[in-house]
């Protein structure tokens, strides 16, 4: 059974449909990545799943039960790590964790014990008594994560938990999340960092303008663009239209075109050497052709016509 199931989730603000009929599910021991640029609808989706916003349409199920049938029961199952830090700067790391443990319903003794466990797991024990305002950005992010874990949630919602921190701090947080997954926790992970989604998530949903455009494993998403057969051609493509080349659109799908590069995916199960021969015979002066495995950014370009960071 899925720990989280979202069906047709929709939210409108005035004339803007921030989330448009989004559906997906997350199973125990799975990290589901919701990937998209800023403003794609990721945070609004998290807010509706956690009960901060009531959806205009659709349904959220937590451990098989409708969220709004018993919101308090659903919230006891989940932990939420918002993109904006939800910690008290004047309090110490230990005090923050114990406070949020009590807010989650733990007894004082249990909150203290659990806080100590998390401080050790998050490598914060040595700074546990220091005010959070003296922490680095990465340390604050770790405390923010710990505050959602006091009650040992089975479902964890992470809204861009590594935004704005250095690479080493990011690696530490990602490794901790992998350990949570190994313990059976279901994780919904929103990000606009390609490398995080590619290495961390078992399944990925690509969202833009509030709509879920595609989902699947990394391999399944890559197969949308012809598996291993993505070609990048270097040439002068100014004032050149691939549509004018006879039969080209029947044999290749254009992913991206600039003045110097043309990225295309082969259509059909053809040998790469055959594709390469065809590309070298194009009616332009080809400088170089590179064969590569499609990335998530290539998939996003094919679906939306723009890069993830735009």
Positions in the chain whose pLDDT score sits under 70:
225-228, 305-310
Contact (Cβ atoms closer than 8 angstroms) between residue 263 and residue 283: no
Measured CA to CA in angstroms, residue 80 lies from 74, 129, 149, 242 at distances of 12, 24, 9, 47
Exposure string over 28-39, b if 16+ CB within 10 A, otherwise e: bebbbbbbbbee
- Specify the length of the chain in residues: 310
User: What's residue 306's pLDDT?
Assistant: 65
> Is residue 132 within 8 Å of 144, Cβ to Cβ?
no
| pLDDT tens string 143-152 | 999 999 999 9
Burial (CB count within 10 angstroms: exposed 0-12, middle 13-18, buried 19+), residue 117: middle
Cα 121 to chain center, whole Å? 24
**pLDDT tens-digit series, residues 52-93:** 999 999 999 999 999 999 999 999 999 999 988 999 999 999
CA distance 186 to 196: 17
Here the contacts of 62-71 (C-beta below 8 Å, separation 24 or greater) are 62/3, 62/4, 62/155, 63/1, 63/3, 63/154, 63/155, 64/1, 64/2, 64/5
Residue 57: beta bridge partners? 10
């Amino acid at each position: 059974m899925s720990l989280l199931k979202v069906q047709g989730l929709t939210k409108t603000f005035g004339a803007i449909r921030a989330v448009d009929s989004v559906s997906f599910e997350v199973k125990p021991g799975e990290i589901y990545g919701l990937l998209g640029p800023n403003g794609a609808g990721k945070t609004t989706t998290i807010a509706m799943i956690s009960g901060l916003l009531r959806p205009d349409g659709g349904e959220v199920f937590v451990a098989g039960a409708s969220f709004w049938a018993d919101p308090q029961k659903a919230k006891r199952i989940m932990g939420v790590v918002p993109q904006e830090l939800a910690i008290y700067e004047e309090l110490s790391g230990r005090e923050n964790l114990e406070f949020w443990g009590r807010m989650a319903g733990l007894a004082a003794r249990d909150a203290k014990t659990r806080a100590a466990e998390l401080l050790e797991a998050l490598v914060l024990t040595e700074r546990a008594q220091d005010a959070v305002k003296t922490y680095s950005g990465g340390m604050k992010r770790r405390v923010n994560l710990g505050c959602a874990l006091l009650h040992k949630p089975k479902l964890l919602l992470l809204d861009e938990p590594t935004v704005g921190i250095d690479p080493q701090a990011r690696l530490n947080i990602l490794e901790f999340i992998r350990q949570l997954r190994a313990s059976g926790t279901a994780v919904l992970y929103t990000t606009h960092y390609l490398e995080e989604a590619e290495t961390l998530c078992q399944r990925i949903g690509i969202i833009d303008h509030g709509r879920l455009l595609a989902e699947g494993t990394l391999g399944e998403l890559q197969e949308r663009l012809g598996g291993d057969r993505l070609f990048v051609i270097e040439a002068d493509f100014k004032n050149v239209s691939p549509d004018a080349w006879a039969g080209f659109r029947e044999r290749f799908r254009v992913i991206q075109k600039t003045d110097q590069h043309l990225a295309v995916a082969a259509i059909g199960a053809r040998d790469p050497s055959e594709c390469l021969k065809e590309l070298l015979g194009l009616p332009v002066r080809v400088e170089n052709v590179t064969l590569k495995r499609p990335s998530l950014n290539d998939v996003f370009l094919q679906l939306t016509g723009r890069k993830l960071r735009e």
